[in-house]
Chains A and B, each alone.
Chain A
């Protein structure tokens, strides 16, 4: 060849795919979807609002409760009981953050920009973990503060400084975050919103019901290790003799979520997008 093409000067000479870049990108993706923002708002409203309602109702019923019930009363977990519903909002959000990329085709853009694939998944995991933990921790503390005010009349209310309370509040935020990560793992594994949401709801809400049909001994043993049951011990203050200890239970729950995520990551690397 006799013609020489002058070396083209790139408009973006410093372009490099980096981990920090992926984190920034995933943060932009998270904040730029209305559905994501609304799911977070829903989780916060459920956690703070429903918890307040439950605390109010409990205080109202206090006089009708027998001494046995009062002895087993957990003022901390009652004041954050809205977490039961908030977990669904967070879990569904975790699913949608990934399955939504598959349903819209966005995943092809994501995987073209990050062709090694796994860094994109880890980027999502990190951003989601940080954002969810912070919002859920703030909401939990707020729900607790409001709830304890409402429970004052019972004489059974507790404060931030009481034993086990801070562990339970931080534990609640951790539990909710891991529910979201479990949703994310299921979304990445199944790649369909409806299937992954149903599976998540099945794991958290339907498994305990199925378990209730088993013979009593077996039921008690299995119950301890059900994901939701195990995970929720970390937000209890009054210990339950039939359950795992708070951190052991939470560890089991994290184990389940990690298992789902590892299988999802393995398949993400291998499957066609």
Chain B
């Protein structure tokens, strides 16, 4: 369980996290979403006490992280920035962390196998690829068999097999009753992995919702309809409670389900050539939600750039 209350973090004039409050519950996977620079990594560092909050509190399993007797058994974290000495082997890196808590070396071997690094355990971590480094970070997070697992963009740099593996890992950790908090930019990835979402923008909370509610809210509930007797059918649907908009080759109907439209057409003997429920993609919904709080907009490739004339 992670409880964040009124958390604020300023770096000089920059407010990275602004009055953030939320709770991450055990037994489910909670996704942490937001555009670049929205404060996800900062929030996670605040939870671990690596950075001190300007105000507010972050509690894990009922206490501040530093106040636990076995911190690594409470929270296992994968941070965004590399956190391994490049000159040390993966095995010795994990062993040194384990020893602080009296965790036996057999557990080190166990987590190395779990993340698939047993073959390269004696190699220097500085030689690892991005994905291998990520796996080592996940191994470190799991070392203390923690009640809460907090991962900052764990799939970053992983191959498709690795991404699938992380997805299964997160789900099984949650199924074991752990609190699983994982940040990502990819709404589609979160839709597959997470049960609950916390969305932030510019350091502020935008949404705290179940994934199901997010998806339901995101779909525009439009139905694309085509028919050889389009005008007649459009008229009929408008009188049955639909809101009809003409589009290229057909109409989009809001306010009626595909089933209702099909039934209405059949009852009046009108043939229907297309009946397609339209859903906004999750990425679109995510971008709609965070549009106002995106800091770093890319310039549209074909939009004229200020100061440049062609």
Q: Which A residues contact B (CB, under 8 angstroms)? A: 5-6, 8, 10-12, 14-18, 20-22, 24-26, 28-29, 32-35, 100-101, 104-109, 111-116, 270, 272-273
Contact of A15 among B45, B51, B84, B101 (CB under 8 A): B101
Contacts of A270 in B (CB 8 A): 52
> Which 7 A-B pairs rank lowest in CB-CB distance, beginning with the nearest?
A115-B66, A32-B92, A108-B83, A25-B99, A106-B85, A5-B177, A272-B51
Check if A17 sits within 8 Å of B176, measured CB to CB. no
A109 touching B84 in the complex, CB below 8 Å, given contacts A5-B27, A25-B99: yes
The stretch of B70-78, B181-189, B215-223, B293-301 that contacts the partner chain: B70-78
- CB closest chain-B residue, reference A117: B66
> What are 6 of the A-B contact pairs (CB < 8 Å)?
A15-B144, A18-B102, A28-B92, A28-B99, A113-B72, A115-B71
Check if A17 sits within 8 Å of B100, measured CB to CB. yes
A-contact bits for B107-125, CB 8 A (1 contact / 0 none): 1001000000000000000
Contacts of A5 in B (CB 8 A): 26-27, 177
Contact of A35 among B66, B70, B87 (CB under 8 A): B87
| B interface bracket (residues with beta carbon within 8 Å of A) | 35 or more
Check if B84 sits within 8 Å of A106, measured CB to CB. yes
Contacts of B100 in A (CB 8 A): 17-18, 21-22, 24-25, 113-114
Contacts of B164 in A (CB 8 A): none
Contact of B99 among A21, A100, A107, A112 (CB under 8 A): A21
Measured CA separation A107–B48 after assembly (Å): 13
Measured CA separation A273–B84 after assembly (Å): 14
Contacts of A107 in B (CB 8 A): 83
Contacts of A10 in B (CB 8 A): 73, 145
Contacts of A116 in B (CB 8 A): 66
Contact of B85 among A25, A104, A111 (CB under 8 A): A104
Contact of B88 among A22, A29, A111, A113 (CB under 8 A): A29
Measured CA separation A100–B126 after assembly (Å): 13
Check if B82 sits within 8 Å of A8, measured CB to CB. no
- CB closest chain-B residue, reference A16: B70
Measured CA separation A28–B103 after assembly (Å): 14
Check if B103 sits within 8 Å of A12, measured CB to CB. yes
Known pairs A15-B72, A17-B71, A272-B45 / 14 extra A-B pairs, C-beta < 8 Å? A10-B73, A12-B101, A21-B100, A21-B101, A22-B100, A29-B88, A29-B92, A101-B85, A105-B82, A107-B83, A111-B49, A113-B71, A115-B71, A272-B51
> In the assembled complex, how far is the CB of residue A81 from the closest CB belonging to chain B, in whole angstroms?
32
> In the assembled complex, how far is the CB of residue B137 from the closest CB belonging to chain A, in whole angstroms?
9
Measured CA separation A11–B95 after assembly (Å): 16
A16 touching B102 in the complex, CB below 8 Å, given contacts A115-B49, A272-B50: yes
Check if B52 sits within 8 Å of A104, measured CB to CB. no
Check if B103 sits within 8 Å of A112, measured CB to CB. no
Check if A11 sits within 8 Å of B97, measured CB to CB. no
Measured CA separation A16–B101 after assembly (Å): 5
